[in-house]
Copies of this chain bind each other. A is one copy, B any other.
Amino acid sequence: MTDEIDQTLIAALMEDSRRSLKALAQISGLSSPSVAERLRRLEERGVLKGYTVEIDPRHFGYQLQAIVRVRPLPGRLHEVERLIQATPEFTECDKVTGEDCFIARLHVRSMEQLDELLDRINGYAETNTAIVKKTSVARRLPPMN
């Protein structure tokens, strides 16, 4: 279904999603119409969900990054989820099994802002916050074979 060549294409796009079809053609050993067709089908099947960009949040003043575990108070689960979704400083959030219901990533400009945002959800949930000191592994692909 997804063969060796598709994986090569995906890996090449993971490195640089603005590569031209021609460049992808050279990498994969196909012609550019064939590459275009393969990408079209990978998108259609939902394997390729989108092309996006990585930015450095520090350039926008986000000096701090935190991982916040969130345990809503009884009956407040949906409210908490909506609050997180409505707060754009939360840039990722997963709903998980276990005591913590949500694990979210939060970008803030200062400790004051961190405190303020956490206070807002502390009315509906208990939170546990870990400040990111360093990125050990930058977002990457799992093995594809």
Closest B residue to A108 by CB, please name it. Answer: B142
Kindly list chain B residues whose C-beta atoms are within 8 Å of the C-beta of A102: 136
Binary flags per residue of A101-140, CB closer than 8 Å to B gives 1, else 0: 0111001000000000000000000001111111111111
* A47 on interface, CB distance cutoff 8 Å: yes
Number of interface residues of A (CB under 8 A): 62
Are A136 and B84 also in contact (CB < 8 A) when A94-B67, A98-B130, A143-B89 are? yes
Instruction: Check if A53 sits within 8 Å of B55, measured CB to CB.
Output: no
Instruction: Check if B88 sits within 8 Å of A143, measured CB to CB.
Output: yes
Instruction: Check if B2 sits within 8 Å of A62, measured CB to CB.
Output: no
Please pick, from B60, B92, B132, the residue contacting A95 in the complex, using a CB distance under 8 A. Answer: B132
5 interchain residue pairs of minimum CB distance:
A96-B130, A93-B137, A93-B136, A17-B51, A95-B134
Could you list which residues of chain A lie within 8 angstroms of chain B, going by C-beta atoms? Answer: 2, 10, 13-18, 45-57, 59-60, 62, 65, 67, 81, 84-85, 88-98, 100, 102-104, 107, 128-144
